[in-house]
Chain A
Amino acid sequence: MNERVARLRQESFETPVTLDHERAAIVTDAYRENLGRLSTPMLRATAFYDLCRRKSLYIGEDELIVGERGPRPKCVGTYPEITCHTLDDLEILDTRPQNPYRVSDQTRLVFAEQVIPFWRGRSMRAFVLERMEDEWSTYYEAGIFTEFMEQRAPGHTTLDGKFYTRGMEDFQNDIELAVAALDPADADAVAKREQLQAMRLSCDAVILFAERHADHAEDQARNASSERAAELREIARICRRVPRHAPRTFHEALQMYWFMHLGTITELNGWDAMNPGHLDRYFQPFYDRDLRTRILDRDRAKELLGCFWIKFDHHPAPPKVGVTAQESSTYNDFTNINVGGVLENGQDGVSELSFLMLEVMDEVHLLQPQGNIQLSKRTSDRFLKAACRVIRNGYGYPSVFNADTVIAQLLRQGKSLTDAREGGSSGCVETGAFGKEAYFLTGYLNLPKLLELALHDGRDLRTRRQLGPRSGDPVHFTSVADVMQAFAVQVRHAVAVKHRGNQVIEQLFAARMPATFLSVLIDDCIENGRDYNAGGARYNTTYIQCVGIGTITDSLSALEHHVFGGDLPLSELLAALDDDFDGEEPLRQRLWNRTPRWGNDDDRADRHMEQVFELVLELIDGLPNSRGGRYHVDMLPTTCHVYFGKVCGATPDGRHAGRPLSEGISPVQGTDSKGPTAVVNSCAKMDHERTGGTLLNMKFLPSVLAGEEGIEKLARLIRTYFRQGGHHMQFNVVDVATLRRAQKHPEEHRDLIVRVAGYSDYFCDIGEALQEEIIARTEQEEA
C-alpha cells in the first residue's frame, strides 16, 4: 500500500458515519413538482436526474477515483420514497451505541419541515404494510419470517462487463432502436415508450453527474499544487470521457464502474448496494493494454485499485429501522467482488490482475468491499493458496466459492451456459447471472420456530397464542415422521402466507418504483421495454432464505434419540421446553451433550437435515413469482439467526429460549467436536446444486494455519468440500483470547474484523450477543 492509499484508507476508517437530508430533500422536491404530472417511470427518472444535477459534489484530497452518493464520505442519505424515517428513528440512529448514524440539527429540521410531511402515508413501506393481510402481519411480528422489501428496494444484483465496451450514448442508441421498433398496435406500447424514455433520461443523468465532476475537478485544479493540479485535470478528462463513452484505459474503466455503482445506489436503496461482478476479468484487457503502451505499471495499477477499493468503504448501508435494523444491524452494505472463476469460453478466469486484487484486498482490508474467489476445478492451486494466505490474516475474506457448483445452480435454474459462466456470487453467498438477472431475496424463514409451532399444535411458545394452523396434538406423535408431518403443515402454511405477501410487494415495486437506470444495465430490459423491477430482465428469480438448519436438525435428532428412540416422554420434554428448562438443567445438558449432532459427519443427525432440506425445497423451489420467474431457496442468515433466536422458545436440542440459532449451514455453535473434515462432510450431504447459495462459516486458530503446511492443508480442505459439491466456505482466523481482549478493550481492537455470516464486520460493532456467539463457534483446534 503506498502512502496515498494508506492515507485515504486511514481517513475512511476514522470518519464517523453520518446521516444527511440532501437526497431526501431533492427527491421530495422532484415528487412534489412532478407527482401526477409524469408517468411513474418518468417521475422516477426525473427524480434521479435531479439528484445527479443538484447533489453536492466531493473530490477528496489525493483521490484518484471520484464521486460519492452522499455529500461526503461516510455520509448516507435516506430514501423517503421507500422508507421515511421519523424523528424518533433519527434520534435512535443518532444516539444508539452500536453503529450510530450521527444526525445534525439541520437534518432533523429538514426532515420535520419538508420530508416527513410530504411522505406521510406515501412511502413504499406504508403501502406495503397497509396491503399485507392480517395473518402476514402476525407471522411477521412473531418472527416466522422477515421481509426485505418493506424498507429497501429489490437488490442483490450484479453488473456484468457490458459497459466496459459501450458508453451511455451506445445504450441510448439501443433505446432509440427499441422505441422505433414499438408496435403501435401493442397495448403495452405506451407504457414501454414511457419506460424507455425514462431509461434514456437516466443515462443523461449519469453523464451530467460525471460532467459536473469534471467541472469540479477543473475548479479545484486552479488552486492546487502543480502535481495535484495535473491529477485533477486527468480526473476531469476521464469524467468527460466516461460514462458517456466506453473507457479506453484502466483508470477510465475503474471510474466507469464507479459511476455505474453510484448511479444504481443513488437511484434506489437496493439490498446489497451493487455488486461489480468479475472485476479482474473486465479490467484485464485495459490492464494489459496500458502495460503494453507503458502508460501504466503494476504499482500504479495497484494504487488505482487501492483508491477504488476505498470508495466502497465510503458508503455504509442506508440506515434501517424496526425489525430489519435488528436482523441486519451493520454498516456493511454487502458489495462482494468476484475474483477468478470460469470464463465464458470455459477457460480459467485467473489472471495477473486476480493476484493483484488479492494483494489489494489484503492490504486495504476495510469493512467494505467484501471479496471472494471463485474456485473451479481449473483454478490453479497457486491462486487458491494465494487466497488462503490472505484468509490467514483474519479479515474474514476472501470467502471461497465453488464456481462449478455456482454454474450448476444457474444451469438448473434455466440459464444458458454462457450466462451461467458469467454469473457468480453477490451479497453474502447469493448466486446470480451477472448483468442479466433480477434476483430478489425476499426474507428469512425461521425453521426452528416452525418446528416449535409443530410441537405445540400451532401455538407460539413466546406469546402462548395460537399462531399457525392446528397441525396435530403432539400427544399423538410416536415418531419423527409424525413431527415432520406437522412441521410440513406449518411450513406449507407459512410459505403460502409469505408467498401471497411477496406477490403483492413485487407488484407494488413493479408499478410504483421502477429502477430506470439499473434497467439500462441489465439485459434485456431495453429490448423488452420493461423495468428491472417489473420482469424486464432476462431472468427473474425470487429467493426465500432458510435459517437455523443446524438447530432444527439437532432438535429432530434429539427427538429421535431421546424421545422416540429413548426413554424421555415427549410430554416431559415439551413441559421442559415450555419452562425453558427451568429446574431441568440435567435434562437440558443431556439433550445438549448427548444428542447426535449435525456437523459431526454422523448420519444419525445428518439424515434429519436431508429431510428438512427436501421438504423446504418441495414447498418453495419452483413456486411462480409475479415476474414470470420462479422461487428458489438460499441457506444464509446474515445476522438474522440472532434475531430469530430471540423469538424462539427453548428447542429440543437443549438450546435455551432466546439464544441465537445456528448460523448458515454451520453446525450449532460449539457442538462440532470432530473437526473440520467432519463439518465439511456433513455439509456436503446437502444438495447445494438445488439451492441459490449456502453459507458455511468455519473458525480456525492461527496456529492451525501456520506455515506453508497450514496453507496447504486449508487449501486441501476447501478442495475436498468443493469436490463434494459444497457451495461456499469462509473462515474466521482468530483466537478466543484475542476476542475476549477485544470485548474488554474495544478501543484497542477497533479494526478487528471477523466473519459474521456471509460478510465481515468490526468485532466491536456487532453487539454482545453476536460477539458471544462468534466466540462459542467451535474453534477447530489442532489435533
Chain B
Amino acid sequence: MVSGRIFDLKRYSVHDGPGIRTTVFLQGCPLSCPWCHNPESRPGTPVPGFRADRCLSCLACGEVCPEDTKPMPHSPWSATCDHCGRCVGVCPAGARELAGRDVDSESLLVELERDRLHFEESGGGVTFGGGEPLAQPEFLLALLRGCRDRDLHTAVDTTGFGHADLVDQMADLTDLWLFDLKHPDPARHAELTGEDNTLILANLRRLARAGCSIWLRVPLVPGLTDQPEALKQTANLARELGIGRLHLLPYHRAAAGKLDRFDLEDAGGGLAPPTSDHVDRLAAAMRSPDLDVIIGG
C-alpha cells in the first residue's frame, strides 16, 4: 500500500481514452505551462480554495483553526495556514476546500473498481492524469500494478517528463499512453514550460520502441504552440514512430473560473481560444492516411 496525493477523481470521464473511464488526477507537476487548465494541481502541496459566494460567515472555520491568525468571515485563509484542512471539514457550505488530498493506493483501487461494469461494457477503464502522474512514481506504479491485478484497463495521461527507469517499468503495466507533446522544439519547449523536451522526446521514443500503444496529444494554444511548422514536425515525428493517432486539444478558458477560488495568478491571461476554422485547417494539414488527427480529447 502506497500513499499518494490526488486532487480529483472523475467518473464517467469520456474524453480521456477509450470507453467510459474514471480519471484520477494526481497532484503536482514539474512543468509550468501558462495554458494549464488545472493550475491548482501544479504545486505538490495542497492548494487552499475559497468560494466567497458560498460563505455564510458562520465562523465555523475560525473556531477550529489552530493558527493565531484565524480566517475571518469572507477572508480566504489564515496567513500562517499550514493546510491542516480542519476548516474544510467543518465548513457547512463547502466554501472552503483543499485541492490535494492524501489517499492510499488500496482504498483508491476499491473506488476505481466501482465502475468495473461500465468499463467492461464500454471498453473503458482508468486514466491517471494530473498534474503530472510521473511525479509520484511509487504511487503511480502501485496503482498500475493494482489495476493490472484487477484486470482494469489503464491509460496514463502524461507530459512524459519523468525518469527513464520509471517509464521503462511502466511500459509493461500501462495499456495506453496519452502522451502530451507541447512543442517539438527543445528551446521553445523550455520557454513555454520551463523545461526542455529532451527527456520527454527520449521517453516517447522508448515507449514507441517498446511497442506501447500511444495517442499523441498536442495542446493548441494560439501564438504559443500552433505554428504550422512545429505541428508538421510533431506529425512527422508521430509517423516516424508509428503512432497512428494524434489529438489536437484546442486551448479553452476553463481555468479562469478557478483563479479566484484558489487565489492563483492568471498565467494564461493574454491567451484566447483558437477559432474552430483555424483548428480545422491545422488538423487538415497534419492529417495523412497513416495519421489520424482528432480534434478534442
Contact = CB atoms under 8 A, between A and B. Distances in A.
B121 A709 contact: no
Contacts of B122: 712-713, 716-717, 720
B11 to A, nearest CB: 5
Nearest to A680: B118
A717 B20 contact: yes
A719 interface: yes
A701 B175 CA distance: 30
Contact of A677 (B23, B58, B93, B118): B118
Contacts of B92: 586-590, 593-594
B163 interface: no
Nearest to B9: A674
B118 A720 contact: yes
Interface string A670-709: 0000111110110000000000000000000000100001
A162 interface: no
A674 to B, nearest CB: 5
Contacts of B10: 675, 783
Interface residues of A, number: 30
Q: In the complex, which of the residues A586, A593, A717 has the most CB atoms of chain B within 10 Å of its own CB atom?
A: A586
A717 B114 contact: no
A518 B13 CA distance: 50
B58 A717 contact: no
A717 B12 contact: yes
A709 B295 CA distance: 13
B16 interface: yes
B256 interface: no
Contacts of A123: none
Contacts of B16: 783
A675 B114 CA distance: 13
A782 interface: yes
A328 interface: no
B117 interface: yes
Given A587-B92, A589-B56, A593-B93, A720 B121 contact: yes
B187 interface: no
A780 interface: yes
Q: How large is the interface on B (under 10, 10 to 19, 20 to 34, 35 or more residues)?
A: 20 to 34
B195 interface: no
Nearest to B89: A594
Given A586-B60, A675-B10, A713-B20, A593 B94 contact: yes
Given A589-B56, A589-B93, A717 B118 contact: yes
A677 B117 CA distance: 10
A709 B14 contact: yes
A783 B23 contact: yes
Interface in A587-602: 587-590, 593-594, 601
B19 interface: yes
Contacts of A681: 114-115
A680 B119 CA distance: 13
Contacts of B23: 783
A674 B11 contact: yes
B14 A783 contact: yes
Interface string B1-28: 0000000001111111001101100000
Nearest to B114: A601
Interface in A639-681: 674-678, 680-681
B14 A678 contact: no
Contacts of B115: 677-678, 681
A378 interface: no
Contacts of B93: 586, 589, 593
Contacts of A676: 12
Contacts of B12: 675-678, 717, 780, 783
A654 to B, nearest CB: 9
A507 interface: no
A716 B20 contact: yes
A7 interface: no
Contacts of A709: 14
Interface string B189-204: 0000000000000000
A713 B14 CA distance: 8
Interface string B93-126: 1100000000000000000001101100110100
A782 B15 contact: yes
Nearest to B10: A783
A677 B60 CA distance: 34
A574 B20 CA distance: 43
Contacts of A678: 11-12, 114-115
Nearest to B120: A720
Q: In the complex, which of the residues B12, B20, B93 has the most CB atoms of chain A within 10 Å of its own CB atom?
A: B12
A298 interface: no
A86 interface: no
Contact of A585 (B56, B114, B117): B56
A677 B11 contact: yes
A52 B19 CA distance: 57
Nearest to A719: B121
Contacts of B22: 677
A724 B120 CA distance: 13
B117 A720 contact: yes
Contacts of A783: 10-16, 23
A447 B13 CA distance: 34
Interface in B126-141: none
A674 B115 CA distance: 11
B94 A723 contact: no
Given A586-B60, A719-B121, A720-B121, A782 B114 contact: no
A675 B11 CA distance: 6
A572 to B, nearest CB: 14
Nearest to A603: B114
A674 B11 CA distance: 6
Contacts of A704: 14
A392 B124 CA distance: 22
Contacts of A585: 56, 58
Interface string B66-101: 000000000000000000000000001110000000
A674 B93 CA distance: 18
Contacts of A593: 92-94
A779 to B, nearest CB: 12
A504 B271 CA distance: 72
Nearest to A707: B296
A7 to B, nearest CB: 38
Contacts of B118: 677, 680, 716-717, 720
Contacts of B11: 674-675, 677-678, 783
Contacts of B58: 585-586
Q: In the complex, which of the residues B13, B15, B122 has the most CB atoms of chain A within 10 Å of its own CB atom?
A: B122
Contacts of A674: 11
Nearest to A586: B58
A716 B15 contact: no
A723 B121 contact: yes
Interface in A567-624: 585-590, 593-594, 601
A724 B117 contact: yes
Contacts of A713: 14, 19-20, 122
Interface string A440-467: 0000000000000000000000000000
A677 B20 contact: yes
A724 B122 CA distance: 14
B26 to A, nearest CB: 15
Given A589-B56, A594-B94, A677-B118, 19 more contacts: A586-B56, A587-B92, A589-B93, A675-B12, A677-B12, A681-B115, A709-B14, A710-B14, A716-B20, A716-B118, A716-B121, A717-B12, A717-B118, A720-B118, A720-B121, A783-B11, A783-B12, A783-B13, A783-B14
24 contacts: A585-B56, A587-B92, A589-B92, A590-B92, A593-B92, A593-B93, A594-B92, A594-B94, A601-B114, A674-B11, A677-B11, A677-B12, A677-B114, A678-B11, A710-B14, A713-B19, A713-B122, A716-B122, A717-B12, A720-B117, A720-B118, A720-B122, A724-B117, A783-B13
Name the 9 nearest CB pairs between A and B, nearest first: A590-B92, A783-B13, A716-B122, A675-B12, A586-B58, A783-B10, A589-B92, A720-B121, A675-B11
